Structure 1
Amino acid sequence: MATTLTKDVPSPPGSGKTFFGHPRGLATLFMTEMWERFSFYGMRALLTIYLLSGGPDASKGLHGGGLGMDLAATTAIYSIYNSLVYLLAMPGGWLGDRVWSPRRTVAVAAGTIMVGHLTLALPGSGTFFVGLALVALGSGLLKANISTMVGHLYDGPNDPRRDGGFTIFYMGINIGAFFAPLTIGTVGEKYSWHLGFALAAVGMALGLAQFLIGTRHLSPESSRVPQPLTREERASWLRKGLLWLIVAVVAYGIIGLSGHFTMNWAMVPLTVAGLVIPAGVLWRIKRDRSLSTGEQTKMSGYIWFFVAAAVFWMIYDQGGSTVQAFGTGKASDSLLGLSFPTSWYQSLNPVFIMALAPVLAWFWLWMNRRGKEPSTVVKFAVGLVFVGVSFFFFLIPLTMAVGGTLVSPVWLVGIYLIQTVGELCLSPVGLSVTTKMAPEKYASQMMGVWFLAVTAGDSVTGLLSLAKVDLSGAGVVALEAGLATLAGVAVVMYRRRVRALMGEIH
């Protein structure tokens, strides 16, 4: 499809060879993102089971050497890590726009991720959390900037190749995400956790090398700092940064020296920040007096989408924690006589996306030709209902897995399939509505605001886990399922009000 779209369309001057009819630089960014996602999802496939290994909630089939945590602590750490990746996307975009340029920021980010994975490969819980923080930091820095660089390859927003280019780029994400658990997950789960993390570092090293070798094919715009900080602004930011650093060092130094430091002193502030910062950002934009009445009205409508998306991601991201832990400890690790590592469950979502995304795109087009395509609001609601249904479906194997009974892995396949359909209904629509409803003043920042919905959802999960709520209990799973389903129904019931707030956007 991309080749057809790009036929007879000239590439930008100096671009030379093309990549499936697209600028050659797309191959560089495709491979960089593919290897970054390979390392990211490979580590993520190991994270939950590594934290559980050796602990009270670990499966008997897991080898030792993990951190031996219970499920509550594991889910909290997983959720906080995930929320930080998306929270750091905003400062990552800011650094690219105002300090380093997108190209330099991506190079720094890739190097940071690689060092983070190498640190994870070292034994010891202290180095593990340092490595996890570095991977989160690097992923946040890279996320917004590499997508911006894809856009730089094309002649403005009306270039007919642009959508096809982003589609190819998106495939790179899912190819890396699909193969990562099959390789890194297998090595880590079956042979050595730290060798698995080291393999993730190798993947990121390949991505960084690919990026540095192919950087000559990228647009010169990617090396430009769009809005560089003035000398006064730079000095002000340095003063503020040093002040907060001193406050943190002194506060945590006192706590540590007094012997009262526990993991909660680190995790609780991060989860609270994951809720306060998104709320604060939305409040600041909504209350900006320089916005027109129409823009403020659209922001009121956007808050509906934001809150609903936070509910969606709160449940969806438990596919890597609560659902993964259940699959590891209470589901059989064989199907049709073939055994497999339980980390392979994390390959289901990307393969379902690659299989179903074209089908769903065709389905919406087919509905549109008949004048029956659902509105943006309804699609969003459908996504919420699907993620709610996935947890109602989860209740079936939960009730079956009693007294040591191992359920069929097909139940897990069903959960991930239903969640993926929900993601394909909600996520692309959310990205689209974010760009359409963004006030002109905040056009570049609003994509980061959309990512903050993931941060908020994961932070709620983290807080519940820190409060020792059993997220794998049937009652809590049913409550979350009902919450998502009711949120979807509420969006449909109030769709006229939401559409009125959206103005001309439908």
Structure 2
Amino acid sequence: MTSKSIETEEVQKSNSYPKAVPYIIGNEAAERFSFYGMRSILPTFLIAQFFNPTFNPLLQQTAEAQSNQKVHMFVALAYIMPILGGIAADWFFGKYKVILYVSILYCFGHLMLAMFDTDLALFSIGMTVIAAGAGGIKSNVSANVGDQFDKTNEHFMSKVYGWFYFSINAGSFLSTYFIPEINKKYGSAWAFGIPGVLMALATLIFFLGRKKYIRVPPTGINRNNFIFISFYALINMGKRVKGDHWLDVAKASYDPQKVDDIKAVYRLIIVFAFIPIFWALWDQNLSEWVLQAQKIDLNIGLGFTLLPEQVQIFNPFFLVSFIPVFTYFVYPFFEKLGIKTTPLRRLGVGFFLTALSFVIIAMIQENIDAGGKPSVWWQILAYLVLAWGEILVSITGLEYAYTNSPKSMKSTMTAIFYSTVSIGNLAVSLINENIANKGFFAQLDGAKYFWFFAALMFASFLVYISIASRMKETRYVGVTE
């Protein structure tokens, strides 16, 4: 083959999106409606139904901490399960089978919430089943997006990931508005049952696209995998030649190329180490911020007053509104100025904005603590800033997890990205459990609670920018192994 033909082959690009994209996006929108629909009323429902049904003011602080503890533990479980789902897909069954079968389990979890909304023990089991279902498919759905691309259509990947995230927030937006209304008018059984219907629809949409997907077969368990190589390198670190990477010692017994691939994975993990703090803050907009909304003026003008659970609708609204703005205007604008909007830079700015959103929330809480009743528009401002941070961190993180991990590790590495959500929520859950038990963190009452998390995020941001400047990227897209 001549050099000219090679050059022609390299620049030949497809003008069409992958055929499976509409099914993946439709499935994600319906699934996210189901997840965020049930979650939109969860914090207030747990307090009203189980932890403080008489609304005794003396019990409210403890009840809020108990609700926050349970909600964040639920989210922590939902986002640690992607590791098992990713391994099951990468090693044994493939993404398609894992997504389909676990989605069916997911539907049963919703059914349990609708049937047992007056029994805390059985309701909690339903939450666990939903967490297992949502988590089991999560890493595979987003990785399945990346699997549909090769070198001919890679240039569409960022846009498709943007639309994928758009579908998440479209489903979230609709459910966050309608499910609290349904809960108010028809009760919790309907409010938890309708998301189950949407999950069944999500499963059906995914099944209908079965002939359109590019399916990456499972690799099976082989000795040249991430776990075996990492373990071997750790126990043989004493044999490492001075100046070599700590993983290089494994090259004598394992495939050297696989060892180099895993180096890229650890570079990815270094970046991911900062993301749990982002999620520790972000997920509070669906719990602590909702409880704060019960104490502010919810009149948005024109005679329209929101329910406390509905204020969170502004998060998906702003995301749906600003994802195209960032994709088609903000990033290109800075590129034209000669400022490359690399994933690492996007993450850093996202961390800063997330901390800033908590500064706004802390100031709102100071007003409440002083006896005031601030306007909901201040909380809406915080949601706007948080949405900008989320666009820069979450969308970028999903794409970064896929493009910077080796082919055989893509679902697993996406699962590791999602496990950062679990770690962040676990930390918040434990802090709230400590508050409920009158422990050390009980001193974080009122605005002090939010100032604590704002300071934590700012400190993490400063450490991140000192490390990110030395990080390098290794992209694995359309690479055959």
Cα distance in 2 for residues equivalent to 1:111 and 1:354: 28
1:218 paired to 2:221: no
Corresponding residue pairs, total: 425
**Aligned positions of 1:316-395 closer than 5 A:** 316-327=282-293, 329-336=294-301, 337-361=303-327, 362-373=329-340, 375-395=342-362
Q: Is the 8 Å Cα contact of residues 54 and 69 (structure 1) preserved in structure 2?
A: no
Which ranges of structure 1 fall in alignment gaps of 5 or more residues? 1-7, 11-20, 62-66, 231-279
Counterpart CA distance in 2 for 1:58 and 1:170 is 37
Residues 120-199 of structure 1 aligned to structure 2 (within 5 Å): 120-122=113-115, 123-155=118-150, 158-199=153-194
Q: After TM superposition, give the deviation of residue 443 of structure 1 in Å.
A: 4.7
Matches within 5 A, 1:269-284: none
What is aligned with 2:469? 499
Query: Does the aligned pair in 2 maintain the 1:348–1:416 contact within 8 Å?
Result: yes
Structure 1 pair 100–73 and aligned structure 2 pair: CA distance change class (3 A):
same
TM-score by length of 2: 0.78
Please state if 1:307 is matched with 2:273.
yes
Determine the C-alpha separation between the residues in 2 that align with 1:374 and 1:216. 36
Task: Work out whether residues 52 and 68 of structure 1, in 8 Å CA contact, stay in contact via their aligned partners in 2.
Answer: no
**Does structure 2 retain, via aligned residues, the 8 Å contact 1:31–1:210?**
yes
The match for 2:91 is 98
Aligned CA distance change for structure 1 residues 229 and 504 (closer, same or farther; 3 Å): closer
Letter in 2 for 1:480: F
User: How far, CA to CA, are the matches of 2:172 and 2:342 in structure 1?
Assistant: 30
* Aligned residue in 1 for 2:111: 118
| Maintained 8 Å contact 2:51/2:63 | yes
SS at match of 2:93: coil
Percent identity, aligned pairs only? 22
Shift of 1:191: 3.1
- Shift, 1:502, TM fit: 2.7
Give 1:29's match in structure 2, choosing from 17, 24, 29.
Answer: 24
Measured against aligned partners, the alpha-carbon deviations of 1:351-393 in whole angstroms (never above 9, x if no partner) come to: 1111112222322221112212355444322211211111111
For residue 79 of structure 1, the aligned residue among 72, 77, 81 is 72
Provide the C-alpha distance between the structure 2 equivalents of 1:455 and 1:203, rounded to a whole number of angstroms.
24
Aligned to 2:102: 109
Superposition deviation, residue 101 in structure 1: 2.8
Post-superposition offset of 1:71: 1.1
Structure 2 counterparts to residues 455-494 of structure 1, below 5 A: 455-468=422-435, 469-470=441-442, 473-492=446-465, 494=466
1:132 Cα deviation after fit: 0.4
CA distance in 1, matches of 2:451, 2:378: 16
- SS for the counterpart of 2:375 is coil
Q: Deviations over 1:288-307 (max 9, x none)?
A: 54578976776665454223
Structure 2 residue 208 is the aligned partner of structure 1 residue 208: no
Answer whether contact 2:315 2:387 (CA < 8 A) is retained. yes
Rounded Cα–Cα distance in structure 1 between residues aligned with 2:264 and 2:145: 28
Q: Is the 8 A contact 2:80 2:418 kept in 1?
A: yes
Q: CA deviation at 1:474?
A: 1.5
1:420-470 deviation line (CA, Å, top 9, x unaligned):
111122223333443455467745422221112111111111111111135
Highest relative contact order (Cα 8 Å, sep 6+), 1 or 2?
Answer: 2
Say whether 1:40 aligns with 2:35.
yes
Deviation for aligned residue 1:97: 2.7
Q: TM-score, normalised by structure 1?
A: 0.75
Q: What is the identity, as a one-letter code, of the residue corresponding to 1:103?
A: Y
Contact 2:47-2:67 within 8 A present in 1 as well:
yes
Question: Which of 402, 412, 415 is equivalent to 1:445?
Answer: 412
Whole-Å separation in 2 of the counterparts to 1:156 and 1:184: 42
Deviation at 1:482, TM superposition (A): 1.2
> CA distance change for structure 1 residues 109 and 477 in 2, over 3 Å: closer, same or farther?
same
Secondary structure at the aligned position of 1:373 is classed as coil
Inter-CA distance 147–429: structure 2 relative to 1 (3 Å threshold): closer
Equivalent residues of 1:397, 1:407 under 8 A apart: yes
- CA distance in 1 between counterparts of 2:271 and 2:189 reads 40
**Tell me, what secondary structure is at the counterpart of 1:445?**
helix
Cα distance in structure 1, aligned partners of 2:283 and 2:366: 22
Matched-pair contact (CA < 8 Å) for 2:17–2:156: yes
User: Hey, what's the Cα distance between the residues in 1 that align with 2:344 and 2:150?
Assistant: 31
